[in-house]
Structure 1
């Protein structure tokens, strides 16, 4: 589990103990761990992801001098920069329902070719594009098998981006993604 999300084994141990204490996890037969209250746990995780993790991994906000990013995002292939769409752009690709009002992209490393190729200018706030650094191992089977599309983050991240929004269409789209792409097995 630690290698899937790039955290230490000690952090995983702490997390598992907290989940046991909070009754989100219990040990079944043969010491197999079973997750309880999956929907509630997902909601708590989405809020923590939005409030705690995303500010730490944010690279910046940008606007383009020459490219209308909102109109042309479907032609932009972030995987050429080892990146993936997230948020409203990814939601559009998963559901073909939501037209993005803001774009989000995850990238690896410090290579900023995306910045020059999209002719981006950093802005303090209200940029058209938010860029974040990957926090998970995108090649780990949990994530690589989870995404049905090559240029978007796993559905759980899109869900977390949208469900914590105050925009009703984002919340509605998050519910569609939950129902169509995020399965809770018992």
Structure 2
């Protein structure tokens, strides 16, 4: 376990003991096996109460964003045992959402939730004495995320020239140069004996992309939200986005990939001037509208699993950022069918 994760766990365990009278003991050992597709626990935590011990596969988070919470909820579907979240801080909104998903947690501020027979605790609203928002590393801000997205979406893209990576990512050559250096420093890029570059720790890199995307990049892509003036709820089924160099993301993209979700929000990623799309589909600006248009930022012709559909990684990020229960369940399906193989996951 990395030192930072150990520090978070120790601080949170001390706070749990103070507010709830519970002792949390974490097991030390080798790397743990997967307990579901997309999730390998960081450690195992045991909680004791009245001569009974509760064992939890545990995820440790330094900085919990809404999207990271959605990502975790999607991956915890189908776990073979109890799962637990330990974080530096969990705010009241996040605490309520975790309760909705019935995911137990505790943090370094003393907030906690357990809902097991013989173990019920709920403490929320406590704040850290030195609460402060950590600024994300440069690699996980808007421009760096574009390159990381391309590297994750296209297998072995990291082995190509920096100029080719820049073209596929839609960023400058200089951006790729510093980003590749930063990924090497962070342990996500290795140079092999052959001289070829290899992307490693892809599952963790994916997790960090999904957590950062809705805060650092997505708001910069938003053209606006719209309502349809003349279309029924299924208008998107007859819509052809090909003439506009556009594609479906979010709920519609997921519905097309999984045949599972009934979309309530339409997400369109489009290049260039979007006025033609607005005119074609009768869209008028509406801050609370059910259609959102975002700038398409990538140049990856082979990354999408279906025509007129965004790359699965982006659809997954859209779904978990929404924190909608329907979308979280569908996100798990998208991950299993399309994303697990991108990060080279083994079964266990």
Rounded Cα–Cα distance in structure 2 between residues aligned with 1:156 and 1:86: 10
Match of 1:78 among 241, 251, 254: 241
Q: Give the aligned partner of residue 27 of structure 1.
A: 191
Shift, 1:144, TM fit: 2.2
Normalized per residue, the structure richer in helix is 1
Q: Alpha-carbon deviations, 1:163-184, whole Å to 9, x = none?
A: 2331232122222112211223
Q: Alpha-carbon deviations, 1:16-70, whole Å to 9, x = none?
A: 12211211222222222222221111111122222111111111100011112x3
Q: Give the aligned partner of residue 132 of structure 1.
A: 294
Q: Give the aligned partner of residue 62 of structure 1.
A: 226
Rounded Cα–Cα distance in structure 2 between residues aligned with 1:118 and 1:14: 41
List structure 1 segments (4+ residues) > 3 angstroms apart after TM superposition.
none
Cα RMSD of the aligned pairs, angstroms, is 1.6
1:154-165 matches, cutoff 5 A = 154-165=311-322
Helix, strand or coil at the partner of 2:234: helix
Rounded Cα–Cα distance in structure 1 between residues aligned with 2:196 and 2:290: 45
Where do 5+ consecutive residues of structure 2 fail to align?
A: 1-164
The alignment's TM-score, normalised by the length of structure 1, stands at 0.89
Does 2:262 correspond to 1:99? Answer: yes
The total of aligned residue pairs comes to 179
Shift, 1:111, TM fit: 4.6
Q: Give the aligned partner of residue 146 of structure 1.
A: 303
Rounded Cα–Cα distance in structure 1 between residues aligned with 2:243 and 2:222: 20
Where do 5+ consecutive residues of structure 1 fail to align?
A: 138-142
Helix, strand or coil at the partner of 2:264: coil
Q: Cα–Cα, structure 1 residues 39 and 80, in superposed 2: closer, same or farther, change >3 Å?
A: same
Match of 2:284 among 91, 99, 121: 121
Rounded Cα–Cα distance in structure 2 between residues aligned with 1:6 and 1:146: 14
